Amino acid sequence: MSRNVRGIAAISGIAVNTVVWFFPIMLLAMLKLLVPWKSFRRIMARWIMAMGENWVSWNAVILSLRHSDRIDVRGIEGLNRQEWYLVIANHQTWVDIIALQVVLNRRIPFLKFFIKQQMIWFPFLGLVWWAMDMPFMKRYSKSYLAKHPEKKGQDLEATRGACRKFRDTPTTVINFIEGTRFTAEKKIRRNSQFQYLLPPRAGGIALALTSMGSMFNAILDITLVYPKGVAHFWDLCCGDFDDVIIEINKRPVERWMIEGDYENDREFRSRFHQWLTQVWQEKDGQIGSLLSESVAS
């Protein structure tokens, strides 16, 4: 099978797999929406997450990633799918998301991303994200708030409201806190002080911690490294995916992180930035060590 044919077959398989799971997920989501009993809705939420896990498992089969020796996972011991986690990770490629889903599937609760509200209109996936209770973010621009000051804070409160529904069901929220994928050009443009990372953006993780912090059992600080060069989605579909190292470091959720006011307390905001910068400095050194280790081996 030629490279391009294999790639097209893989993408077609993922599309079919998505459609297959779309209908039962939406059926359960509608039942969850219409039936008011809290215990029933909790059961529906768990079933929907189970279907999401099946969707990820079959995508892994299609991409030949199930039980793959191309993914080197470290620090995964001791994770529990009955706990609540906040995942922070560096971001280099769309393959990051697939690799994390495959590695963490059924080891921790199903990954949930903060998604822009407009993405709910994305074909098929937008409704699936809604059914899976992904937290949709409605952010107002500074120019809009200048004209409508009464809207200030409403976007953050809406996001907090979306997070409150996670209190009854173990949940993992993931945040790529660089805000975008790393490239050498972006590193220069953003004047990054790090060798392998873009400067972290604290707003999203601060929002998650102030909204859900008391629920989180731990912060999973995940580092992704591609020793042979960054993999791309099309390469993955074509079977040209090289090794990735995924190292997981469990960090505690400290009380000060969840009791502060990131939006209005300058001192708390400064302390949060200092903590996050230190985490990122450690991650930058860790990436360098992992790359050196792979070269030596």
pLDDT digits (tens, 9 = 90+) for 21-71: 999 999 999 998 898 888 898 899 899 999 999 999 999 999 988 767 788
Spatial contact of 198 and 287, defined as CB atoms under 8 Å apart: no
Structure tokens at 87: 């995942």
The mean pLDDT value for 124-131 works out to 80
Band of residue 289 on the pLDDT scale cut at 50, 70, 90: very high
The residue ranges of every structural domain in the chain are: 70-296
DSSP string, 10-28: HHHHHHHHHHHHHHHHHHH
Q: Is the pLDDT of residue 139 over 80?
A: no
Residues near 75 by beta carbon (within 8 Å), at least 6 away in sequence = 247, 248, 249, 250
**DSSP letter (8 states) at residue 169:** S
Contacts 24+ apart (CB under 8 A), 282-289: 283/90, 283/197, 283/221, 283/223, 284/194, 284/195, 284/196, 284/197, 286/223, 286/247, 287/90, 287/195, 287/196, 287/197, 287/223, 287/225, 288/195, 288/196
Band of residue 293 on the pLDDT scale cut at 50, 70, 90: confident
Structure tokens at 18: 């998505």
Amino acid found at 41: R
Q: What is the CATH number of domain 70-296?
A: 3.40.1130
**How much is the mean pLDDT over the chain?**
87
Task: Of 55-64, 236-245, 263-272, 278-287, give the range with the top mean pLDDT.
Answer: 278-287
| pTM given for the model | 0.88
Spatial contact of 133 and 166, defined as CB atoms under 8 Å apart: yes
Burial grade of 275 (CB within 10 A; 0-12, 13-18, 19 or more): middle
Element (H or E) spanning 247, and its range? strand 244-251
Q: Rounded CA gap, 88 and 174, in Å?
A: 6
Spatial contact of 114 and 171, defined as CB atoms under 8 Å apart: no
pLDDT of residue 118: 73
CA angle 76, 214, 216 (to 5 degrees): 15
**pLDDT tens for residues 150-207?**
666 666 666 676 677 787 788 898 989 998 899 999 999 999 999 999 999 888 888 8
Band of residue 211 on the pLDDT scale cut at 50, 70, 90: confident
pLDDT of residue 224: 96
Among the residue ranges 58-72, 99-113, 119-133, the one predicted with the least confidence is: 119-133
The mean pLDDT value for 253-281 works out to 91
Structure tokens at 167: 């209190």
DSSP string, 53-106: HHHHHHHHHHTT-TT-TTEEEES-TT--TTS-EEEEE--SSTHHHHHHHHHHBT
Tokens 């949940």 label which residue?
Answer: 171
